[in-house]
Copies of this chain bind each other. A is one copy, B any other.
């Protein structure tokens, strides 16, 4: 019945399409921080009526990307550096919890297979000497798969939803892992091996601690990269648009 899709669901409704297009526009920096997003202007820009636009704005606000004030509409939220950094802190404790719950509950065979495959894929990718941008992009997918499998195996929908919210904070998204250096990638892949062992071996406390430090290390890398002025400019563009 439904056509075979390569990646995601096809946004059957205009509302969903507008959500994706608006989010992409925001993340691409097409609006300034604090800028107001007028419904009617977006209407002409996106070629749909106000109804799906309004719904999309509400959804993006619920994801934390926009601010909303009754009778005054939506504005692009400002993300301070400290807010971005603390998003990693939040994600670290949540993913740590996911690892602990997963270890307490135990992995099923499907989850074990997926995680082991992700580990092997990572091994293969990092075996060769040099790491290209393409490698980094591939590893980003493997990394997402590894983490998502653990989130899922924790068995808490609320936990999944809160982790999702953390990843909606602009620079906090896992895909920005491509910005990191080679030794960081290798180190994090080693982390994955140890985390899997801890969960597989039913060591909740160790799994939590390892995962927590694993995610927090991304924060550290970000802070380190933000130490150079050029990097700060770069990140600020991503966060706040090219204001």
Contact = CB atoms under 8 A, between A and B. Distances in A.
Kindly report how many copies of this chain are found in the complex they form together.
Answer: 2
A70 B13 CA distance: 7
A145 B15 CA distance: 39
A108 interface: no
A166 interface: yes
Interface residues of A, number: 34
Interface stretch (A90-98, A118-126, A178-186): A90-98
Nearest to A16: B70
Which of A154, A158, A162, A165 gathers the greatest number of chain B CB atoms within 10 Å? A158
Interface stretch (A35-43, A80-88, A135-143, A225-233): A80-88
Contacts of A55: 54-55, 58
A161 interface: yes
Contacts of A71: 12-13
B83 A90 contact: no
Contacts of A155: 82, 86
Interface of A: 12-13, 15-16, 54-55, 58-59, 62, 64, 70-71, 82-83, 86-87, 89-90, 93-94, 96-97, 101, 154-159, 161-162, 165-166, 169
Contacts of A12: 70-71
A216 B198 CA distance: 23
Nearest to A166: B158
Which of A59, A89, A90, A157 gathers the greatest number of chain B CB atoms within 10 Å? A90
6 cross-chain pairs, A with B, having the tightest CB-CB distances, nearest first: A62-B62, A86-B156, A93-B93, A162-B162, A93-B97, A13-B70
A207 to B, nearest CB: 14
